[in-house]
Every structure is written in structure tokens, then in C-alpha cells.
Structure 1
Amino acid sequence: MNTKRRIVPGLAAMAAFGIATTIVAPACPATAADGDGDAQAGALRQAAQSTGSIITVRNDGSATTYASGSTSSGANDEPTDADKFRVASNTKMYVSTIVLQLVEEGEVDLDESIGTYLPGVVVGDGIDENVITVRNLLQHTSGIADYATPDVVFNPQYQWVPPKPADLIRLGTRRGSQSKPGTAMAYSNTGYVILGELIEKITGQRIGDVIDERIVNPLGLEETMYAYAGEKAIPGPHFSGYIGVPPLLFETSGHEPGLFGSAGALLSSGSDMTVFVDALVGGDLLTEESLAEMETTFKDTGYGLGLFQLKTSCGVAWGHNGHVPGYLSYAIADGDGRSMFAAVNTSPTVADPSQQFADTIDSAMCGSESTGKATLPKAARVEFRRYAER
């Protein structure tokens, strides 16, 4: 049974869509899993200066949700674990899961070149489609630049004429090779747009339909859906997204989802995300061998194939984060029945809530065992001020 708690509203606002360095949580955090979840949700909202925050903790199938503030500026509602949220790069876990399922079915080889499957799609100065592998794209070691720079994400022309996946790929590959494939990790949303094209080519279906067929429907997810280019409105109860500092907030709820594509266009909720990440890390969606591939990290980055590893007070956990303008979240699971989703609906432009997110994750995953020593890898920290500084 889902239970729900709430505390009094307060602050609001902050922004990004990337990654960066290691963070360690300070000692003595409030413990979401032990009854201090209300305080944790309030601390997270204030750290992010957001209008609202939500923490959903699922343990052996039973979920508890804590919330602070409201789903939109000036509202007096109570955020719930059914409210839709742009989960951004958490979408990558869905995409990587499907790619690994196709590997299991013999349709894709992780170490085959992307040129074998999508000839002529991945081209650019120094970029060799016959050298870059599917594994490189999943692990951000392809050497292909990230298309999602602020000048692209906030280009007004794309709000009028949504970019197609081919446009996003060209925006990333036009900068040429950044490194030799397989030698360095550099987070690239371009790679996951390419993987979306791979999935569509192999299955003959649109990416959203594949996600529904292989993940959403089997798991009974009720609020999870893929937003295609042009589908700016978020249907049903949802969080509004913002950039800014209260009281000066710019709403981003209707930002063009075509800019995110298969790298980050998914809509979901606290309830659905905790079910999904628990099923993934718990081995319900992939074979043991495939999950082991996903959890094999590149050097010291902590990043596997669409999953990052983090060390909590009570052991190792896996998951991802997500950040598009106005929406910042983390979805984490330990593979042993506990999962969590934490989110705020304002992009950081001044404050940096990364420390508080680390506290929140550690306390949600460890409960009374939490000592505030969760460590997130380089691949799990958002460049919070990336947009504000450009």
C-alpha cells in the first residue's frame, strides 16, 4: 500500500542536462526510510530552491512517498507519486535495457560496429562508423560529442520546428571525433539518440511503442510514456518545471521534447520509476549475463551500460539521474527489493543540491543504517550551473 506524507510549502528554483564529479554526503542526514522522510523532502526542496520535491521509497513492493511544496508555483496542491515528471536521462536505462534485450535475442552484438546496423548515419570528421561499437554508445565511450549544449537546448527555432533524431545526430557529429572509441568516457546524449535509431531499425517500431511493449506494459506502469517531437503538453496530473530563483521563475514544462529524444524524452512518476528500476536491477527484465554487462563499469567512472554504480552506507546500488530544463531526478535500486526516486521541479541556477541528493539517496536506501556516506560517481553528478553560465 502506498502511503503519503507532506510538509508545508516554501522556496523554489534551479538548471542543467549533463554530468560531472564525485560527491560525498555529510554525516547525520534525515532518514527517509525511517520516518524522517518529510524532513528529507523539505531539505531537498530547499537545497534546490524548487517549488516542490518528492521522494518515493519502495521496499519489497510497498511504496511510501514523502513530498514538500507543490507541483507548480502558486499552487496549493500536494505532490504525489502518481504525478508525471520529465525524467530526462533516466530514459537511458530504458533504452539500454531494450538494447540488451535485443542482444539476448541475437539481433544486436554489443561489440559490433554501429555502421553495420546504421550505415551512413554516424559520420563526421575523424568519426569511423566501422570502429564505434554499440557498447561504446551505451557507455559514452564513442568519442562523439554531446549535441545537448545550451545553445541547442535553448535555441528558439527548435520550439517552432522540432528537431528530428537525424538533426540531433548531425549536431553531435558535426564537431568531429573527441577521442578514440573505447579510450575515454565523455557523456554524450548523441549516442543514445543513435541507439534509439538502432532500436527502431531493428524492431521496425517507434521507440515509444517498443518501450511500451517491452517495459511499460509487462510491468504495469501507469504514468510512463514517451513524448515525441511536438508533444509538449504533459497529460494528466504532473509537476510543472522551472528555471530561475524565486520569485523570478521561467516555466519550462512545455519545452520541446524532440530536443531530448531517446536520450531523455520519457515521462514517468515516482511510483512507476521505483517499480522499473527495482525490476531492472533486480533481474526481472534481463538475464543474469546481460545485467552483468550493464553493471560492468568503464575504468574509474562508475558508469556501466546505461547504469551508474554508487556506494551507499549499506552497500552498492545502481541507477541513473536525469535533468532537462526544470526537472531533476535520481532513480536508484539495490537489486534486493529496495528502490527510490527523488526529484525536484526546478533547475539549479544558483544553489547546488547535489550534496542533499546524496543524503537523500543514502537515507532512502539504507534507513537506520545510513551514515551519510553515499558516494556518487563522476557519471552521476549534474553540471548544475551549466545553463546559467552561458
Structure 2
Amino acid sequence: PSAAPSMGTLWLWGAVPLLLLLLLACLAALGHRWTRAQMGRTPQRRRELRAPPKPPSPDLPALRFLQVLQTGRFSAVWRGTLQQRPVAIKAFAAGSSRRWAAERAVHELPLMEHENVAKLLGTRGAGPCARGGLLVLQLYPAGSLQHFLRHHVSPWAGTVRLALSLARGLAFLHQELWRDGLYKPRVVHRDLSSQNVLVRQDGTCAIGDFGLAMALPARATGTGQRTEQLRRAGTQRYLAPEILDESLDLRCWGRALLQADVYALALLLWEILSRCQSLSPGVPVPEFRLAYEAELGGSPTAAQLRRLAVEERRRPLIPTTWHRTAQPSGALQELLEDCWDPDPEARLSAERALQRLQRLAAPPEPPTRS
């Protein structure tokens, strides 16, 4: 019979696995320290491997909140400073982080910088100042287009400046761009209103508030699971007839949403033109009114708008004073009618509307006396 193993042999068999485990642990620790040392010595290489944020977010601890400018259901807009530079701070409410992310994503699309689009300066995720996130934007001291028109009238040159810059901003959003290997898709705003357009110090417009905006894919056809998302409404007053009566063409929904933006553009152009001194010769310029405010008051319901704009096919009234100027053959009225046409397919594109406005940019001649 074989001899039983000695106590020394048993101890050796138990100690060898322990020694191997200890050796592996030491090697792992050395490897971890070596990796950290290497990473510490090559910060430039680590930066090259990571894609930089777009746009790079400034040092937001230097952000100061000074005064509330506007409050809404999903966010509040503050006047503040960032590194002593005046800024607007859009602070999203708790539960609105998806809206913050969606708006940020549109701002951060490649090639999105344009003088007639609100400029994003930085972002920050949820925190104590904004549980839904922050967007830091260029400050537009003149405020919204609605505020500006309510408190100012303009000569023809100032009116054209507002109208051209607004149309130029929308035409830019609706345009595809390729440059230096970057691609900007077409963007539909979906909530164009005089509250969501800002006015610069030079009297030009910058389109803002991209909470409902969408970047269109190259082939924006078919619905998939987008039906409910496509029917989400913006500001009721500016909704196109095909959205009010839910007849939006979901087969070619990208084109349909572009056409709905142009309808809203027409209503904004009407609001701008209604405060033009040159279009009210010999009479005071009327007080500012929102589109359809004269017909439906300050807070129209969807049913009222549907009856007026869809069933009766009515649009904001064009004053008779407009026809006392020497604009050729009612070109202003024709422009508006071609942008708010009941048939979406008959409407101008934003680019064509811009071209029409450029032809009207010359100051009107005084009315002829018979």
C-alpha cells in the first residue's frame, strides 16, 4: 500500500495556489498603476481619442442668474452673465429634460451657426438651478418679435429688415448644407411664432426656441411610429390648416412640415407689415395685434381656429391702406396669399418667399395723386 502524504507535502499543496493568487493580484495592481501613469503622461492622445463636445461648453460655474425675463410651462428664461458677458439662460423645469436634450441636439447640428438663428453658447445638464437642464444663449436685449412690434412702429426700411432676416433664417433652417465633410440636414421649426423669434439690436430677427424642432432625414416619408410625434402642436394661433384639421400628409411628412412652417411665416410677415409706417400713409399705424386677434381675441381655441382658417378659409385682414402705396400690383398681398394658401402644395418654399421679399426691398414711392 502507498504511504500517506506527510504534513509538509499537504502544506505545500495548500500554499502553492495561495501564492499564485497573490502573484496575480500583484501583477494586476502593477498593471493598473502603469496604465494610470501612461494616461497621465499622454493627455493629448486621450483628447484625440474622444470626440469633443459640440459646441464646447464654457466654464458654467462662472454663470450668474440676474433677472427672470419670461416663464413658461417647460422653462424659464433668465438674463444673466457668463464670464461677465451678458447672456440669456433657458432653465428647464423638472421633468423637461427630454425637451432640453431635443433643443440642444438641434442647436448642436453641424453648420447650424447663422446670424438669423439664436446662438447657443453653452449647456449644462440637470442641476440645482435647473432640474431639467440649462441652455446658455446669446442675449437679445430687444426681446421677442412680439414685444418689439407691440412697442415699436417701423419705416419701410426697418420693416424690410425684420421681414428679410426672418425669412432668411427660416430658409437657412429648411436648407441642406454640405461643407468641409460636414452635413446639416433640413430643420423644421414646428413652433414658429412672434414669441419665439428674437430681435437683435440692429433690427434683424433671430429664430429661437427649438423645443419642437426636428432634423429631417434624407427621405422623410412614411410614418413608422412617428404619427403622434408629427401631430404634436406648437402655438395654436400659428398652426397650419392641415394641422388644425389633422389632414397633414403623413406619407411625405417632411415636406408637409416644411409647408406648415411657411404658413406660420406668412402670419409673422403680416404682423410685421401691420406695424409699418409706410403702409399707413396719412393715418396712425394701428396698435399691434397678433394674427387672428381681431377676429378671435387673445386666446382662440383650436375649434375657433379650425372654423375660421379651415372651414371658412379666412386669413388676417389686409388693411386697405396698403393699397395706397405704389407697391407693384399688390405684391405684398400676393406674397402673403402664396405663403398661407389653403393648399399646402401651392405654398411658396421659404427660399422662394425670401426671393420675393428681396425684390420688394426697395422703398415704396409716394402714392400718386390723381
Normalised TM-score (structure 1): 0.26
Structure with higher helix content? 2
Structure with higher strand content? 1
Normalised TM-score (structure 2): 0.27
Answer with 1 or 2: which has the greater Rg. 2
